[in-house]
Amino acid sequence: MTAFIPPSAVAQAARRPRGRDIHEPHRTATPLELLFDLSFVVAIALAASQLHHGVMAHHTGPALAGFLIAFWATWWAWMNTTWFASAYDDDSAVFRLLTLLQMVGVLIFATGVPGLFSGDFRVGVLGYVVMRLALVAQWLLAARGDPARRRTCLRYAWGIALVQLGWVARLWLPPDWGWPVFALLLVLEMAVPLWAERAGGTPWHAHHIAERYSGLLIITLGEVVLGAANAVAGMWQTFGWTLNLALVGLGSTALVFALWWMYFLLPSGEALHRHRERAFGWGYGHVFIFVSAAAVGAGLEVVADVLKAGKEATAQAISATGQAAPIATQAGHAANAAEGVSPLYAIGMVALAQALFMVSLWAVYSRSTRAQANQALLTLGCVMCVALGPLAVWLGAPLPWGLLLLCVGPAMAIVYNEHGRRHCEDRFRVR
C-alpha cells in the first residue's frame, strides 16, 4: 500500500522562503534556533579548553592564535546563519534539514578544533565548509522565493561558495603561503555581507537579532561559569573550607554576573530597530565581546589549576619546615607555580580578557546608540580598576583577594549606567 502524504505537507516542504516582516510583533527565537545554538557549545568549550591547556604548557602564543582562529570560525558561521534565519526562516522541512546539516558541520568542526592549535586544518575546514555550503543552499532558495531581493541573495550564495573553494584550496598550498592566504580569505569572508547588502538590505528583525546575540553571549558565559566552578573546586580540594574559598566563589561568580549585567545594559533591540544602518558595526563588533568572554572562562580555568597546584606546594613546604603555613600564605604564595604558571600570570590573563570585554562593549554601545553619556571616561576608569587585581597579587596579596578585586571595575560601570538611566534618561537614550 502506498503511504498517503497530505498535500499540505508536500506544499510546506516545497515552499520557498520569503522575506519576513521586519516589524513582526513578538518575534522571538524558535526552538530550532535554540537547539542550533546548543550545538555551538561544544566548539566554544573546546576552543577555550585548548587555550587553557596551551597556557599551562607554556605555549601561550600558538594557543592564543589557535583560539582566535577557532572562535572566529565558530562565531562567523553562527552569525551568518542567525542573520539569514532572522530574514528568511519559514520553519519548513527543507529549512530544518539544512539547519540539521549545519549542526553536523558544527560537530565535525568541533572535532577538528584541537588540530587548529597544532596547524592541522583539514578536519576543521571540512566542518566549516559543510556549515557554509548548507547556508549557500538556503540563500539560493531565498533567491527563488524573494524576487525583490534575488540579487542580494545570489550575491550571498555565490560569494560564500567561492570563498569556500579558497579554504579547500589552501590545504594544498605550500606552508609559506598558508597564513597570508588565510588572512586574505578571512577578509573575503567578512566582505561578502557588505558586498551583498549593497544590492539591497535583507528583512532581518531587529529585536530578534538582539535576542539571538544575547543568547550566544549567555552560552559563552557558560564557559566562565565552568571556569568559576573549577576555581572553587580547586580551592576546596587544596585547602578545604576556608575564607579564601568563600572569596574565590564570591569573586568568580560575581565576575560572571557583572559581565552579564553590563552586556544587558546595551539597548540593542531599540538601537537596531531605529537605526538599521548601524547593524554592521554592531554585529561585527560583537566578535570582540564574545571572544573576550570566552577568554575570561579560559583564564579562570588557569586560576583553578594554579589553586590546585597549591596543594602540592603546601605539602612540600610542610615537609621542609615541619609546620603548616597560614592559610592566606598557602593560597597566595604556596601556589607559586602550576607547571610554572604564577598566580600573577593567571589573574593577569583574566584581567586582560575582562578589560577587552569592557572596551569592546563600550565601542559597540557608543557605535550603536550615539548616547550623550560619557562612557569613554567611565570605561577608562573601569579598565584601570581591573588592574587592581593583578596589582594586588603582584604586591603579595593572595590570589582569591585579587580575583575579588576584578569585580570593582564592572561594579562602577553598572552603578553609573543604572543610576544614569533612571535620573538622566535623556543622556542615555538612543540617538
pLDDT over threshold 50, residue 256:
yes
Find the angle CA(320)-CA(324)-CA(327) to the nearest 5 degrees. Answer: 135
In angstroms, the Cα distances linking 391 to 133, 304, 345, 396 are 49, 19, 11, 9
Task: Tell which residue, 55, 70, 101, 33, has the closest CA to residue 291.
Answer: 70
For 382-393, write each residue's pLDDT tens digit. Answer: 999 999 999 999
What pLDDT does residue 421 have?
73
Give the Cβ contact number of residue 102 at 10 Å.
Answer: 24
The CA-based angle 358-361-366, given to 5 degrees, is 125
- Show the cell assigned to 292: 573576550
Instruction: Give residue for cell 524558535.
Output: 30
The C-alpha torsion from 166 through 171 and 173 to 179, rounded to 10°, is: 80
Return the closest-CA partner of residue 245 out of 296, 308, 178, 174.
308
Q: Would you say 343 and 332 are in contact if contact means Cβ atoms under 8 Å apart?
A: yes
φ and ψ at residue 341, rounded to 5 degrees = -90, 120
Name the residue with cell 594586588: 392
- The answer to whether 377 and 346 have CB atoms below 8 angstroms apart is no
For the segment 90-112, the average pLDDT, to the nearest whole number, is 96
Distance CA 163, CA 157 (A): 10
* Amino acid sitting at position 429: R
Q: Minimal CA–CA distance to 261: which of 80, 415, 33, 429?
A: 415
d(C-alpha 267, C-alpha 370), whole Å: 11
Q: What is the pLDDT of residue 43?
A: 94
pLDDT of residue 325: 47
Question: In this model, does residue 14 exceed pLDDT 70?
Answer: no
**Rounded distance between C-alpha atoms, residue 82 and residue 213, angstroms:** 9
For residue 127, the Cα-to-chain-centroid distance in whole angstroms is 19
Q: At what angle do helices 343-369 and 375-386 cross, to 10 degrees?
A: 170
Confidence band (pLDDT; 50, 70, 90) for 198?
Answer: very high
pLDDT at 426 over 70: no
11's grid cell: 506544499
What per-residue confidence (pLDDT) applies to 236?
Answer: 79
- CA–CA separation, 110 and 172 (whole Å): 22
Q: Are 224 and 255 in contact (CB under 8 A)?
A: yes
Give the pLDDT confidence of 18-59 residue by residue, as tens digits: 788 899 998 999 999 999 999 999 999 999 999 999 999 889
Residue 276 has pLDDT above 60, yes or no: yes
Q: What is the pLDDT of residue 400?
A: 86
d(CA 153, CA 197): 9
- The whole-angstrom separation of Cα 430 and Cα 200 is 25
Q: What is the mean pLDDT of the chain?
A: 87
- pLDDT tens for each residue of 54-89: 999 889 999 999 999 999 999 999 999 999 999 999
CA distance 169 to 61: 26
Q: Which residues contact 236 (CB under 8 A, 6 or more apart)?
A: 245
pLDDT at position 423: 59
Please spell the DSSP secondary structure of 12-74, one letter per residue. Answer: HHHPPP-PPPTT-TT----HHHHHHHHHHHHHHHHHHHHHHHHHHTT-HHHHHHHHHHHHHHH
Find how far residue 156's CA is from the centre of its chain: 24
> Cα separation of 175 and 263, whole Å?
40
Question: How is residue 159 written as a grid cell?
Answer: 560569494
- The answer, as to whether pTM is greater than 0.85, is yes
> What residue segments make up the domains of the chain, in order of their start?
31-203, 207-428
Q: Is the pLDDT at 214 greater than 90, yes or no?
A: yes
